[in-house]
Amino acid sequence: MTRVDGVFLDPNAMVPRLTTYYIGRYLEQAWIVESTQDEVRRRAAEGAPEGLVVVAERQTAGRGRKGDRWFSPAGSGLYLSLLLRPRFPDVMLIPLALGLAAAQAVDAVSKHRPDLKWPNDIMIGDRKLGGVIAESQMQEGQVLFVVAGIGINVSEPVEGWPPELASTAASLGPDVDREWLLPELLNAIEANYEAIKTGHSAAMLAEYRNRCPYRRGAPVMITAGDGVREEAQAIEIEADGSLLVEMPDGTRQRLYGHQVLGMRMETR
Ligand code: BTN
């Protein structure tokens, strides 16, 4: 990690707003990294505690899902990764909990009220405001740890969006303060993650469903590994975080996070 003296987010502004016990209590700031995901993965392998957060001002190889790049210019976004060591089976709930936390934090600091697009997207209308990626490290069939990353477009980049994002990306606006957004986000993450840990995820999921217009009859485009596209219909987000869909032949299938590769959802 490249470090310089000083920080870009002022701890004195953030710490009084942080009400967590462990999420973000170890928080490292980096000016520029390839990906905060790699930084946290490295710390995890060294035995870092659950709740460690690395936040970067800029990423040179920010990762999105499906092998996409996450555009991560300096000054305009919030790019962070978080170490979780879940001991519960429904790890598919983690990206939902984090996406919901991002929406709740945005509610708290801005006039926006983002929607959620199962399983990982934070949306303003049909434009993408942010996304969540959850990378699990497995050992003997068990989840050893999860590195969960969140990217939120806070203000429009000074140099503007690259052409491929110009018609699809959303941002919150220049008046939104990252030093306020980050602690709100970490507070909401801990609350939602604790709900899962303690077996109280129902209310969290109900709020997720309320904010997710991409369900109940929404067409779900599934691309099989061999390139075949099939249109299913969303039925509901299930208690384990999977998406129940009806296939064209009338059979029902549950889709999980790892099956999201090659799938996209669209409203008609
Ligand atoms: C997606 O919607 O495709 C997920 C985007 C996740 C981006 C964040 S930015 C911080 C963290 N570091 C990364 O390299 N990716 C995640």
Distance CA 115, CA 107 (A): 11
pLDDT at 268: 42
- Which tens digits make up the pLDDT trace of 181-220? 999 999 999 999 999 999 999 999 999 999 998 777 788 8
Ligand 1 within 6 A of 36 CB?
Answer: yes
Q: 255 falls in which pLDDT band (50, 70, 90)? A: confident
Contact 58, 31 (CB under 8 A): yes
Burial of 3 (0-12, 13-18, 19+ CB in 10 A): exposed
**Whole-prediction pTM value?**
0.93
Ligand 1 within 6 A of 135 CB?
Answer: no
Ligand 1 atom nearest residue 36's Cα? 12
Ligand 1 within 6 A of 37 CB?
Answer: yes
Ligand 1 within 6 A of 35 CB?
Answer: yes
Q: How far is the CA of 197 from the centre of ligand 1 (A)?
A: 24
- Ligand 1 pocket, mutate which of 79, 122, 135, 182 (most atoms under 8 A from CB): 79
pLDDT at 259: 59
Q: How far is the CA of 134 from the centre of ligand 1 (A)?
A: 9
Distance CA 132, CA 95 (A): 6
